[in-house]
Amino acid sequence: MRKILTIIGPTACGKSALAVELAEKLNGEIIGLDSRQIYKGMPHGTAQPTEKEKKGIPHHLFGFRDPWRPISAGEYAKLIQEKVLGIDQRGHTPIICGGAGLYYRAITKGIFEGSVSDLPTRGRLEQAYEEDPATLLERLRSVDPDYAQIVHINNKKRLVRALEIYEATGKPPSQHFNEQDENQTSVLDLFPVLLCMEKDFLNDRINQRTKQMLASGWIDEVKTLLEKQNELDSSFPGLDSIGYKQIQAYLKGEMTEHGMEEDIALRTRQFSRRQVKWFRKEKIEFSVDMSHLDRDKVSGIISDIYNCLTVRNQV
């Protein structure tokens, strides 16, 4: 199988639109690489592409999973591998697109044996997080200072998961990641393209997109999810995400509408910087600064390079 074209980068940098243009040029189908866009009933807050934005291109792993069902990086990696194989067998070009660094690592380096979930430990750690997240972060720093550098205190899922792995295996996440190079049995051979933007330019896009998402019905979306969550008496992982938490605070009267919007934009900008930091640690040789480039020209250049690379590898 030829290398898999993969578009990665921070939120709001134009990954989805570029992937669609590439799919049009390469007879492609798009596979999502996002930990929140997988969920049903969350199209506004996770910026799932609309039917108009898809332009008739098949999209996979978007809005397919019930919002109360969590997903591990290992399960997601297997789903991506299955989609890649199916698309390739149809004679089309699989194009992976998203900004989930952990899932990217899962499909490029594999999943370590210790990734099996330990639900009792997770529950205990989640309770500890609710009581004092700073103590948990400090503990992670003591056992895995390298991984702690890329885990924000507000990222409950990743902080809890890191300590869950440590307690279940006796090894910190960084050690497992370093050992993954020895297990290359179930990884994909990617041609990754990292999109980036000048800080001010990206921040403006994030601010504008936050306004658009709120205007499109994000608050009503959260109300519906909360009603469903209460009805099922089950926790919805997606509601612990940036934006969803702020909207819940607004609905409780804990934030003003303006304060809610400002906080969502701020935390999204912070998240985008962590995404860039994560991807800069990966082995990615091809990056594109999208700040002042014409997207159609960029898609043409990338598709030409990819076609040349594919032909060269087949010779």
The amino acid that residue 292 corresponds to is H
Calpha distance 261→244 (Å, rounded): 11
What CATH number labels 116-181? 1.10.20.140
DSSP designation for 280: H
Residue 118 pLDDT > 70:
no
**pLDDT-derived band of residue 291, with 50, 70 and 90 as boundaries?**
very high
Q: Please tell me which residue, 70 or 312, carries the higher pLDDT value.
A: 70
For the whole model, what pTM was predicted?
0.82
pLDDT reported for residue 155: 86
Q: How confident is the model at residue 171 (pLDDT cuts 50, 70, 90)?
A: confident
CA–CA dist 21, 219 (Å, integer) = 31
Residue 247 pLDDT > 90: yes
Residue intervals of the chain classified under CATH 3.40.50.300 are: 4-111+186-314
**Which pLDDT band, with edges at 50, 70 and 90, does 115 fall under?**
low
Ramachandran angles phi, psi of 30, nearest 5°: -105, 135
Q: Which of 201-210, 231-240, 305-314 has the highest mean pLDDT?
A: 201-210
pLDDT score of 88 more than 80: yes
Q: Residue 315's pLDDT is what?
A: 47
| pLDDT for 278 beyond 70 | yes
**Residue 30 pLDDT more than 80?**
yes
**What is the rounded distance in angstroms from the CA atom of residue 304 to the CA atom of residue 282?**
24
Query: Model confidence at 124, in pLDDT bands (50, 70, 90)?
Result: confident
Among candidates 146, 147, 80, 74, which has minimal Cα distance to 113? 74
The number of CA neighbours under 13 Å toward the Cβ of 139 is 16
Q: Using a pLDDT cut of 90, give the percent of the chain over it.
A: 70
Rounded-to-integer distance, Cα 220 and Cα 238, Å? 15
**With respect to CATH, is domain 4-111+186-314 assigned 3.40.50.300?**
yes
Cα end-to-end span (Å), the chain: 13
Residue 216 is predicted with a pLDDT of 97
**Amino acid letter at 60?**
H
Helix (H) or strand (E) holding 274: helix 257-280
Average pLDDT over the chain, rounded to whole?
Answer: 91
3-class SS of residue 296: helix
Most confident option among 128-132, 184-188, 229-233 = 229-233
Q: Determine the pLDDT at residue 127.
A: 84
Residue 96 has pLDDT above 60, yes or no: yes
pLDDT of residue 3: 93
User: How long, in residues, is the chain?
Assistant: 315
Angle between helices 199-215 and 218-232 (to 10 degrees): 70
CB-based burial, 152-176: b 16+ in 10 Å, e otherwise: eeebbbbbbbbbbbbeebebbbbbb
Mean pLDDT of 214-235: 96
Average pLDDT over residues 286-306: 93
| Domain limits, CATH 1.10.20.140, in the chain | 116-181
Torsion on CA atoms 59, 40, 275, 129, rounded to nearest 10: -160
Q: Find the mean pLDDT for residues 275-283.
A: 91
Higher model confidence: residue 308 or residue 57? 57
Confidence of residue 227 (pLDDT cuts 50, 70, 90): very high
Could you give the CA distance from residue 187 to residue 81 in angstroms, rounded to a whole number?
Answer: 8
19, with CB counted inside 10 A (0-12, 13-18, 19+), is: buried
